[in-house]
Amino acid sequence: MGELKKIDGYFLLFTFIVSFYCLVLAHIGFEFWDTGYIPSFSWRIVNGEKVYEDFLYKGPPVTLYFHAFLMKILPEVGQFYWIRVTNYLLFALQVFFTVKAFDNFYGLEKFKINKWAIMSVGFVISLLNFPPYPWPTTDGLLFSSIALYFSSKLNKIKTFDLILIAFFSVLSALTKQSFYLIPLLFIIFIAIQKGIQKAMILLLFISFFISLFLYWITSITTLDNFLKQTTGQTHIKDLFYAGFLNYFWIYDDKIQIYSIILIATLILYYFKFKNSTFSFKKLFETISITLLLVSIVLCFSNQFLIASRIAAISCTIALLNQIKLSIESIKFHLPQLLFLGIAWCSAISMGYAFPILFSTGIILSCIVLFHDELQKYTKLNVIIISFLCLFAFSYNYRPYREQNVLKIDSTLDAISPKLKYIYTTESNFNKLKELKQLREKYGSKTIVAPNMSMTNYIFNSKSLFPADWVINTEVNRDTKTFITIASYRENYIFIEKSFIKGEELMPLKREKFSIIADYIYRNFNKIEETNHFIVYNGQKTNEKLPKIN
């Protein structure tokens, strides 16, 4: 009988961390904004509605159909808990494929790094307390990482691998607009690494899958309808803001941060190169190291999100500084450029404009780009990374838009079988309980505005509005349709008092957040008021309907 193979301790660590998130953290917390965004759309698809035709959606549709499929196969009892578990597992897969791709490109052994250890680090730091609800960015990263893995098989890449790269890069592109660049990144990558012929084959497969998508989308709606809903919400200035300006100027303490960077750069340059002549190459090397150090310090001050931007800038400067105008150098550094490109695409967002969800790719890039510096302080690196992981994990003390975990003690199984195993605060439970009672009182012809978009999913009902999150960015600039539907006498509208009073992350002026909910509050007939809602039915006047610019 052969000797049993020793189990890697870091594999056990990664398995334990993912299991803890699935078995413990997936139960905890419930908020009324983002949590229900994708489930509300996927629930419509489960019930036979067609995207862009029967309801409004401002992004490409892959995420909606992906999670509609999961809704169909997951059990109804405790379904939202199982959705959360699934999303933690999918995120772990993204980290796994990213690290495996890096291992294929560079070989982690030569850097004396255990793959399961770096997966553990990437998983914890990337997530922070990001809730495990369905989200286009996390899906886009998952599909990108799978394409990344198949593109890393450089020595034996075959036609079938190119098909898979094409398929998953197109899937990634069809999760959100900021991932439209992903297929192009892979075409450029294959062209440089494997030649124009294989790049053209990849382009052919990508074109084929895009054609299949266009054929399918035009079978359920018009191309014009698809384009109108998926364009126009953001503009070039938004791309500049989220894709570039955010990395250099949008910081609360920008004067302090830039002062620290400048002083630290000068000091580090002096001690590192004081006996050598000045060169811009040395200067940029110093700047990149300084930025990396600043990002680490910011993490220890619980500013992981800003730190992820600065770390991305650090890697970009180091990459541009190290790459040479030779095919060997370009091929060596190209995977890092692909990692950073995916991270950049994931951060082009007006809601979560940080590359931290792909920090695994950024960390791996750092390992190559700063290898000479990092190997001098191996033990110190382990200590720093261990503490960074602890700090990152501590974010889970307060789930997204919730109270801290010590105040989360109310189970939601009395609200809906789908919410079994989910725990929240007593105030959130009471709000959902009150909503359930109001729906039982007024029947199925009810609308909740502006938030609580998961309402129809929770109660197995059909939405009356063409969008469930009634905020300005989700209604396709069509206030007339929404207010007209709300005006029907058979419909009852529940306006959240938290919207009237103002709440966390909401603008001071209500109409900047939801012009429709504000219009209903000011112009509809109030018929009842409860602890958490005001109930309306029909307009008092026929005022001119507001427009969203």
Residue 95 to residue 360: CA distance in whole angstroms: 7
Nearest Cα to 150, choosing from 135, 137, 163?
163
pLDDT of residue 377: 83
pLDDT of residue 1: 41
pLDDT of residue 505: 81
Please give the span between the terminal C-alpha atoms of the chain, in angstroms, as a whole number. 74
Strands 533-539, 524-529: pairing is: antiparallel
pLDDT of residue 92: 98
Nearest Cα to 159, choosing from 109, 201, 196?
201
**Reduced to 3 states, what is the DSSP secondary structure of residue 346?**
helix
Residue 283 to residue 272: CA distance in whole angstroms: 10
Q: Which residues contact 489 (CB under 8 A, 6 or more apart)?
A: 537, 538
Provide the H-helix boundaries in 74-156: 79-106, 115-127, 136-151
- Over residues 420-430, the pLDDT tens digits come to 999 999 999 99
pLDDT of residue 544: 66
Q: How many residues make up the chain in this entry?
A: 549
Low-confidence ranges of the chain (pLDDT < 70): 1-5, 232-236, 250-251, 541-545, 547-549
Residue 181 to residue 190: CA distance in whole angstroms: 15
pLDDT of residue 317: 96
**Reduced to 3 states, what is the DSSP secondary structure of residue 19?**
helix
Residue 426 to residue 414: CA distance in whole angstroms: 13
Q: Which residues contact 246 (CB under 8 A, 6 or more apart)?
A: 309, 347, 353
**Reduced to 3 states, what is the DSSP secondary structure of residue 128?**
coil
The interaxial angle of helices 280-300 and 378-394, nearest 10 deg, is 40
Largest CA distance in the chain: 86
**Bond prior to 355 in cis (omega within 30° of 0):** no
Nearest Cα to 354, choosing from 304, 404, 302, 428?
304
Residue 78 to residue 76: CA distance in whole angstroms: 6
Rounded (5°) CA angle 337-339-345? 100
Nearest Cα to 86, choosing from 100, 98, 72?
72
Label residue 348 left, alpha or beta by phi (over 0 means left) and psi (-120 to 50 means alpha).
beta
Provide the H-helix boundaries in 469-548: 479-487, 497-501, 510-513, 515-523
Q: Which two tokens stand for residue 56?
A: 């409004």
Contact (Cβ atoms closer than 8 angstroms) between residue 449 and residue 495: yes
Nearest Cα to 64, choosing from 90, 81, 40?
40
- Over residues 480-520, the pLDDT tens digits come to 999 999 999 999 999 999 999 988 888 888 999 999 999 99
